[in-house]
Structure 1
Amino acid sequence: MIKTLKFIVLSLVLTTTLAQKSDTETKNLVSVAIFASKIQQQAKPQIIDARSAEEFTQNHINGAINLIPQDASFIEKLNPSQPVFVYSIANGRSVVFAKDLASKGFKEVYVLDGGIGAWVGQGKTVFTTAKKGLTLNDFNNILASNKLVLVDVGSRYCGSCKKVKPVLETLRKEHGDALKIVEIELEESPQLIASLKKVTSFPYLILYKQGKVTFEKSGIAELKGVLDTALAQAL
């Protein structure tokens, strides 16, 4: 009986600790709408792009500066009494940066949930150096000329996006010409991603049948299985 009570108490403690840790890691996450709204409320918003310099050079939210937690001098470039807005490709690096800011006394830090993928995916504008890539007209022509089109939206710098590629190769072999697969990257076609107004994070998969969306998925969890099911229903 005593052992059972000890086990129950320990389980409750562990559950509470994990919940508190989860709350700490996610409490600063806000949607694109809230992130944008709070930025607009600031005369000189402090927007931090926590990605690499290479990523930042190719595209970033207008007004952002490129800082990383490893740069100890970042504290000198920010005002801790004012809100700070942080984003990365998804939530990884930005959440780490937000925790670092909090430990240094910054009281109001907002992390863009879904990162720049969500920002562009919801139609928000960014600075970009992209000179090529699919246009909306090109994309619509692909949809019109293929019965089934699977669209993979992501970034070459996104770790999870890279894990989608082997799945796509397998599907190409399994379905051949019956399935057209289109890969759209932020670095090449940000305007097209914005025009879709569907993407909530990278990677994002969309299946079209005769030009109509029949399936959408964010992330890579159980990807092959759910795609197989979606394709079986669409064929």
Structure 2
Amino acid sequence: MKLPKIFLSFLFLLFISCNGQQKEIKKMEPKEFSEKLQSENQPQLIDVRSPKEFSDQHLDNAKNINWNGDDFEQKVVELDKSKPIYVYCLSGGRSSSASKKLAEMGFKEIYEMDGGIVKWNASGLAKKSNKTIGMTLAEYEKLLVSDKKILINFYADWCAPCVKMKPYITKMQKDLKNVTIIRLDADANKTLLTELKIEELPTLLLYENKEVKWKHSGFISEEDLTKKL
């Protein structure tokens, strides 16, 4: 049986309408993210980190709405869902979760900065500052003076892969005799992350005679890490 033309036309319009309402989350490299922001007139830019992180450093004209705060949804509701919204955090974990929530709440055009502030700084986009947060590069280089191999583990307490890796890395710190393992909190050493161009967490750097022999970003199993050491 042939369907009436009016009914077919209705289905076609419904299909177009549904596709037009589809929410999109687009990840952007920091440079592209910056250029997109500059092309907007008064962009909706939210920093979903904690107030302390925000006070230490944030992008110009960003509004701090803490993803882990109790009032995240309440504050987001005040924003304009018909306009693009730009989201970032420290390294990408919280902004990814926040972007998904924004899509659920009806925001249709969402731009997320890949790698967050960590990658922003490593890309050379941060404003120059004389303020040092945490260890200096000179102090870091002193840690590398050793006859043993040195494994530096940059981590953060909120980073899921970091938390998963912590038990066996701390165990290796005690058990391995040929390698000195040093864990450095990324949040407490932001200047160092910028100097070393660390773009992701966790990041592992293996040194021999003060030279990097191996670098890994992201999760790595205990078995694979042991093989590298």
Per the TM superposition, whether the score is higher than 0.5 is: yes
The percent identity for this pair of structures is 31
Give 1:207 shift: 1.0
Specify whether residues 168 and 62 from structure 1 end up closer, same or farther in structure 2 by C-alpha distance, changes over 3 A only.
Answer: farther
Give 1:90 shift: 4.0
Code of the residue aligned with 1:71 in structure 2: it is E
Specify whether residues 172 and 73 from structure 1 end up closer, same or farther in structure 2 by C-alpha distance, changes over 3 A only.
Answer: closer
Q: Are 1:111 and 2:109 matched, yes or no?
A: no
RMSD of aligned alpha carbons = 3.1
In the alignment, the residues of structure 2 paired with residue 86 and residue 194 of structure 1 have an alpha-carbon distance, to the nearest angstrom, of 21
Higher Cα radius of gyration = 2
Deviation readout 1:85-141 (Å, 9 max, x if unpaired): 11234444323332343345534311122333333444442799x865210111122
Q: What is residue 191 of structure 1 aligned with on the other side?
A: 191
In the alignment, the residues of structure 2 paired with residue 187 and residue 93 of structure 1 have an alpha-carbon distance, to the nearest angstrom, of 14
C-alpha contact (below 8 Å) 1:152/1:183 kept by paired residues = yes
Q: What is residue 219 of structure 1 aligned with on the other side?
A: 218
SS in 2 for 1:205: strand
Code of the residue aligned with 1:119 in structure 2: it is W
Where does structure 1 differ by over 6 angstroms across 4 or more consecutive aligned residues?
Answer: none
Code of the residue aligned with 1:72 in structure 2: it is Q
Q: What is residue 161 of structure 1 aligned with on the other side?
A: 162
Q: What is residue 28 of structure 1 aligned with on the other side?
A: 26
In the alignment, the residues of structure 1 paired with residue 220 and residue 23 of structure 2 have an alpha-carbon distance, to the nearest angstrom, of 21
Specify whether residues 208 and 63 from structure 1 end up closer, same or farther in structure 2 by C-alpha distance, changes over 3 A only.
Answer: farther
In the alignment, the residues of structure 2 paired with residue 117 and residue 25 of structure 1 have an alpha-carbon distance, to the nearest angstrom, of 27
Gaps of 5+ in 2: 1-21
Q: What is residue 141 of structure 1 aligned with on the other side?
A: 142
In the alignment, the residues of structure 1 paired with residue 93 and residue 176 of structure 2 have an alpha-carbon distance, to the nearest angstrom, of 34
SS in 2 for 1:157: coil
Point out the structure with the larger helix share: 1
C-alpha contact (below 8 Å) 1:124/1:194 kept by paired residues = no
Aligned residues, how many? 203
Q: Are 1:180 and 2:193 matched, yes or no?
A: no
SS in 1 for 2:77: helix
Give 1:189 shift: 1.4
Q: Are 1:72 and 2:74 matched, yes or no?
A: yes
In the alignment, the residues of structure 1 paired with residue 219 and residue 165 of structure 2 have an alpha-carbon distance, to the nearest angstrom, of 7
